[in-house]
């Protein structure tokens, strides 16, 4: 993340610089295209966190992409004017080439296209708010894409319905229908559809006609298009209406000229496939995605295609900027099993391990990422993300530069807070305690377990210090890389090592509906862990495992005051719902 600070005529930038990426960045920098993006004269502040996420594994090309951007498709927005757009002839030629000399089959391309549509929908319209989906499918390949998308949406947690009035009696299409029927996905005739789509559906997938369509729509599709057009009248009355997602081409549009006569569907989302068609330049809806991550380099070279890179392993990528949103309206309605006191492990370390294992089993990305908050003698807090590298009876361990800001603050005030947030499970854990350096032996052992590129990066990167430019890091990295090219032992620098937080407080939080979240706390009293639980519905704090003389409970305001004891200490903790 870059923040720009202007001082006189000079511009200095602070960055979260991951020096371990220098292995990859240096080799990338040998490319003229990459070099041109770096200004060697811009002063930089190196603020490398040695436990940053990209470097849990050897440095590779996907890692640098993950560092530069978010992993989801929403983060890779690219200006639509910089992306290639295809004519109808070019789109047809590319399909013929894919299914001819390049060996793709029509069902393979249809599967990839339908999956791209479903993932694009899931990026924007979450199933807990937009679960009822109507897929209106035409007789051709575009309709087949819609059938595939409906199947994937079912597995994503949506409730799809399918209107397929002109069925194609070919094995490919009958097979797609059979697959949907095996999932008990309802098929609706045109007559079964309600006159007012707004009351029964949250999303309508327009998969009637694709880029090969000519002429004007015939019954029953002409009437269906008109009914979709009527939905836009709800915008004027501020009534909720279903969003429309068009597959590749909004039905009724000319593939190159767009919505001639302003009589076509006006979708909220357009999912272009392979590459956007010329008509997509006329699309004015808030969400434009590109799907179909299968274009071989030979096709891209032949047609001089300029396509945005797909982030991570996503099957879709946003084109253009995301629309502005009302921040105050952003809210997730959590759905989680209850987190009850009787389910809590008596030892909070074991409870943490249990939840940590759940996060790993759920496949969450970097479950060991944690926010580390520190406060120096000036009383000003600071936070940053680091990676947990060990947890045991003695506490939580991470590694960093001993000359960084966080290290200086820990020297002045050896107390910190850790926060783990596991989004997919609606869980977070907060840990507070005192901090001390790990032994030199521990730091030495971990340092030499890291990839050699990361070891060199730790030496090169002087966190929180000003440097003339990134080129200095590259040069120093290259020199050390050559120096240790014989695979001799790389010495750990004196300014690099680990910290251990010895926990004094745990707080386990699990999101619930209506903001009535579950929260339990554990305090260290003398030589025992003592739990504090909370029932937010009754607004009363519940304490167990404590001497009655150690606490006072105030019903209604959710505040617990702990009295001093011979074996413990006294503090006050406010416990209120978010």
- CATH 3.40.50.300 for the 80-319 domain, yes or no: no
* Residue 216 labeled ligand binder: yes
The rounded distance, in Å, linking the Cα atoms of 80 and 320 is 5
Beta-bridge partners for 387:
369
Residue 526: per-residue pLDDT: 54
CATH of domain 341-511: 2.30.110.10
What share of the chain has pLDDT > 70, as a percent? 74
Alpha-carbon distances, residue 27 vs 24, 60, 67, 212, 478 (angstroms): 5, 11, 16, 44, 10
Please say whether the beta carbons of 448 and 489 come within 8 A.
yes
* Residue 47 labeled ligand binder: no
The predicted model gives 310-316 an average pLDDT of 92
pLDDT tens digits, 475-510: 999 999 999 999 999 999 999 999 999 999 999 998
Beta-bridge partners for 382:
374
Q: What residues does each domain of the chain span? A: 80-319, 341-511
Give the range among 341-350, 465-474, 551-560 with minimum mean pLDDT.
551-560
Residue 525: per-residue pLDDT: 53
Q: Which residue has the higher pLDDT, 578 or 473?
A: 473
Q: Rounded to the nearest 10 degrees, what angle do helices 452-460 and 22-29 cross at?
A: 90
* Residue 350 labeled ligand binder: no
Structure tokens at 535: 């029932």
Please say whether the beta carbons of 377 and 412 come within 8 A.
yes
Residue 40: per-residue pLDDT: 31
Q: Do domains 80-319 and 341-511 have the same CATH topology?
A: no
* Residue 201 labeled ligand binder: no
The rounded distance, in Å, linking the Cα atoms of 373 and 370 is 10
The predicted model gives 231-244 an average pLDDT of 68
What is the chain's mean pLDDT, rounded?
79
Residue burial 517-555, b: 16+ Cβ < 10 Å; e: rest: bbbbbbbbbeeebbbbbbebeeeebebeebeeebbeeee
Cα-Cα-Cα-Cα dihedral of 7, 12, 14, 20, to 10°?
-170
Q: Which residues contact residue 442 at a Cβ distance below 8 angstroms, ignoring those fewer than 6 apart?
A: 397, 498
The rounded distance, in Å, linking the Cα atoms of 490 and 502 is 30
**CB-based burial of residue 572 (10 Å sphere; 0-12 exposed, 13-18 middle, 19+ buried)?**
exposed
Residues 359, 365, 368: CA angle, nearest 5 degrees: 65
Long-range contacts of residues 284-289, Cβ cutoff 8 Å, at least 24 apart: 286/322, 286/323, 287/120, 287/124, 287/318, 287/322, 287/323, 288/80, 288/318, 288/319, 288/320, 289/73, 289/116, 289/120, 289/123, 289/316, 289/317, 289/318, 289/319
The predicted model gives 408-426 an average pLDDT of 95
State residue 89 phi and psi, 5-degree precision: -65, -45
pLDDT band at 235 (very low <50, low <70, confident <90, very high): low
* pLDDT at residue 181 tops 90: yes
Residue 544: per-residue pLDDT: 38
Alpha-carbon distances, residue 144 vs 107, 176, 501 (angstroms): 9, 8, 56
Residue 451: per-residue pLDDT: 94
Q: Which residue has the higher pLDDT, 154 or 82?
A: 154
State residue 60 phi and psi, 5-degree precision: -145, 170
* pLDDT at residue 533 tops 70: no
* pLDDT at residue 222 tops 50: yes
The rounded distance, in Å, linking the Cα atoms of 286 and 321 is 8
Q: What is the pTM of this model?
A: 0.55
* Residue 248 labeled ligand binder: yes
* Residue 141 labeled ligand binder: yes
* Residue 251 labeled ligand binder: yes
* pLDDT at residue 405 tops 90: yes
Q: Which residue has the higher pLDDT, 135 or 578?
A: 135
- Please report the beta strands in 404-545, taking only residues with DSSP state E, as ranges in sequence order: 415-422, 427-437, 465-467, 496-510, 518-525, 528-535, 540-544
Q: Which residue has the higher pLDDT, 518 or 25?
A: 518
Please say whether the beta carbons of 417 and 521 come within 8 A.
no
* Residue 206 labeled ligand binder: yes
* Residue 214 labeled ligand binder: yes
The predicted model gives 222-246 an average pLDDT of 77
pLDDT band at 337 (very low <50, low <70, confident <90, very high): confident
pLDDT tens digits, 385-401: 999 999 998 999 999 99
pLDDT band at 459 (very low <50, low <70, confident <90, very high): very high
Residue 32: per-residue pLDDT: 36
Q: Which residue has the higher pLDDT, 26 or 463?
A: 463
* Residue 464 labeled ligand binder: no
pLDDT tens digits, 338-383: 777 777 888 899 999 999 999 999 999 899 999 999 999 999 999 9
Q: Residues with catalytic annotation?
A: 515
Q: Which residue has the higher pLDDT, 309 or 1?
A: 309
């Amino acid at each position: 993340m870059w923040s720009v600070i202007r001082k006189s005529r000079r511009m200095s930038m602070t960055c979260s610089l991951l020096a371990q990426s220098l292995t990859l960045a240096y080799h990338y920098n040998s490319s003229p295209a990459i070099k041109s993006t770096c200004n060697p004269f811009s002063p930089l502040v190196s603020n490398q966190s040695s436990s940053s996420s990209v470097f849990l594994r050897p440095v590779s090309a996907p890692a640098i992409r993950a560092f530069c951007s978010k992993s989801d498709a929403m983060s890779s927005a690219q200006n639509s004017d910089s992306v290639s757009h295809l004519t109808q002839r070019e789109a047809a030629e590319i399909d013929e080439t894919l299914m001819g000399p390049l060996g793709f089959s029509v069902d393979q391309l249809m599967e990839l296209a339908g999956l791209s549509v479903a993932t694009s929908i899931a990026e924007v319209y979450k199933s807990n708010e937009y679960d009822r989906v109507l897929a209106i499918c035409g007789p051709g390949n575009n309709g087949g894409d819609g059938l595939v998308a409906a199947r994937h949406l079912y597995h994503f947690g949506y409730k799809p319905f399918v209107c397929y009035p002109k069925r194609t009696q070919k094995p490919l299409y009958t097979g797609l229908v059979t697959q949907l029927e095996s999932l008990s996905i309802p098929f609706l005739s045109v007559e079964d559809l309600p006159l007012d789509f707004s009351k029964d559906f949250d999303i309508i997938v327009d998969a009637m006609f694709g880029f090969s369509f000519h002429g004007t729509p015939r019954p029953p599709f002409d009437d269906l298009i008109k009914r979709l057009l009527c939905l836009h009248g709800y915008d004027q009355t501020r009534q909720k209406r279903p969003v429309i997602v068009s597959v590749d081409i909004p039905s009724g549009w000319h593939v190159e000229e767009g919505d001639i006569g302003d009589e076509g569907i006006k979708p909220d989302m357009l999912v272009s496939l392979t590459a956007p068609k010329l008509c997509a330049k006329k699309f004015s809806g808030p969400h434009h995605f590109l799907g179909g991550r299968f274009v071989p380099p030979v096709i891209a070279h032949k047609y001089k295609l300029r396509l945005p890179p797909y982030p991570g392993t996503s099957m879709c990528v946003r084109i253009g900027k995301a629309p502005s949103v009302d921040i105050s309206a952003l809210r997730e309605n959590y759905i989680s099993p209850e987190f009850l006191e009787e389910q809590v492990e008596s030892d909070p370390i074991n409870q943490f391990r249990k939840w940590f294992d759940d996060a790993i089993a759920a496949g969450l990305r970097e479950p060991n990422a944690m926010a580390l908050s520190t406060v120096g003698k000036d009383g000003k807090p600071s936070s940053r993300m680091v990676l947990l590298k060990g947890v045991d009876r003695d506490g939580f361990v991470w590694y960093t530069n001993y000359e960084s800001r966080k290290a200086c603050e820990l020297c002045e005030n050896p107390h910190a807070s850790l926060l783990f947030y596991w989004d997919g499970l609606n869980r977070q854990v907060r840990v507070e305690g005192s901090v001390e350096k790990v032994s030199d032996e521990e730091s030495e052992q971990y340092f030499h377990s890291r990839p050699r590129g990361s070891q060199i990066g730790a030496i090169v990167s002087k966190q929180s210090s000003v440097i003339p430019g990134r080129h200095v890091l590259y040069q120093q990295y290259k020199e050390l890389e050559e120096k240790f090219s014989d695979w001799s032992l790389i010495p750990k620098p004196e300014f690099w090592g680990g910290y251990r937080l010895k926990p004094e407080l745990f707080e386990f939080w699990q999101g619930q509906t209506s903001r009535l979240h579950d929260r339990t706390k554990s305090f260290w009293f003398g030589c025992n862990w003592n739990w504090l639980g909370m029932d937010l519905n009754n607004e009363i704090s519940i304490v167990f495992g404590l001497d009655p003389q150690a606490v006072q409970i105030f019903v209604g305001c959710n505040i617990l005051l702990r009295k001093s004891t011979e074996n413990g200490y006294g503090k006050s903790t406010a416990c209120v719902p978010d």
